[in-house]
Amino acid sequence: AAAAAAAGASSLPSAASARLTSPAPGLREWYTLLDTQYRMHPDISAFPSARFYAGAVRDADAVKNRRLARLFPMAPPNEWIRSPFLFVDVASGREERAGTERSAIAGPEPGIAPVPGIALGGPDGASLSLANAAEAELAAALAATLPRTLAPDGDVASAQRDGTFCATPGAIIAFYAEQVRRVRREYDDETSLASRVVSNGDGGGGRSRDIGTVHRAPRPGVHSVDSFQGSEADVVVLSAVRANERGAAGFTSDARRLNVALTRARQLCVVLGNASTLSRSGGDLGALVEEARRR
């Protein structure tokens, strides 16, 4: 039966549903995959559907007709964001351990449970959280400016009123608690790239207009992947964080967590990652990089 996307609910058929049916295998014949998704542009849903659901999740007509932005063609500097799904190779970024955490990921926000079936902490036994300064800087700047870049004539407030774009603020999600903190600090630092981008877009002079004026979008939310489960945003920037010579990806490579991360965006999903590291890690992350290259 057509219902909310599997991606819009949780990483089915694993997690809670798997635990409920595993004690009694005969019950699986009563289990039905919710096979229609109403959230994502088809270019965003294509990889998760093929990789995690064997192509069984189809796109509703409403999302098939969704446009990335109302006004085309885009100005030449913005041509690279024409696609609803993008992978940006942050080759200069390097992961670093910083701060002792109770777990290696940002804990759940109030009222939001972690991804079912996934234990806190990474399979590599890491107890220290990770950050990637280059990705944090770029993620904050992109999420701050993309809604304005994509909205017709840069008029975010108008696009929100008529529903053509940015019905929800943008979001940044990351797999590690330290990266979440690093990105948030980018918005608190008046000298950061994100602050300069917003200031320039508001007319320069270092002054930012009030939220809701023509060129200003609400400040993007910054969340861990687990805490953003069940949520969505028009624009999502995902920071993969891992960047090393070994190709070690830790729990970033967990299929259920990656599925959640890649299925939060409605109109534009931008993945920031070190292509070399993720390719070497193989599995789903390697396939993601190859898919991005193919496109």
Query: Hey, what domains does the chain have and what are their CATH numbers?
Result: 6-64 (no CATH), 76-294 (3.40.50.300)
pLDDT above 50 for 2? no
How many CA atoms lie within 13 Å of 225's alpha carbon, on the beta-carbon side? 31
Q: What pLDDT is recorded for position 211?
A: 35
- Give the tokens for residue 157: 């407030």
pLDDT of residue 147: 66
Q: What is residue 92's three-state secondary structure?
A: coil
Please report the pLDDT score of residue 157 as a whole number.
60
> What are the start-end ranges of the H helices in 211-271?
255-262
Amino acid making up residue 38: Y
Give me the pLDDT at residue 293, please: 94
What pLDDT does 16 receive? 46
Position 168 scores a pLDDT of: 58
Q: What is the pLDDT of residue 202?
A: 52
pLDDT of residue 120: 39
Least reliable range by pLDDT among 43-57, 86-100, 187-201, 243-257: 187-201
Q: Token pair for residue 224?
A: 């861990």
Q: Which structure tokens are listed for 5? A: 């996307």
Flag the least confident range among 33-42, 229-238, 256-265.
Answer: 33-42
Q: What does residue 149 show for φ and ψ, rounded to 5 degrees? A: -65, -40
- Report the Cα–Cα distance between both ends of the chain, in Å, rounded: 31
Q: Tokens representing 134?
A: 């280059």
DSSP state of 55: T
Which region among 81-95, 105-119, 155-169 has the lowest average model confidence (pLDDT)? 105-119
Residue 79 has pLDDT above 90, yes or no: no
State which of 1-10, 64-73, 166-175, 238-247 shows the largest mean pLDDT. Answer: 238-247
Cβ-contact 270, 88 below 8 angstroms: yes
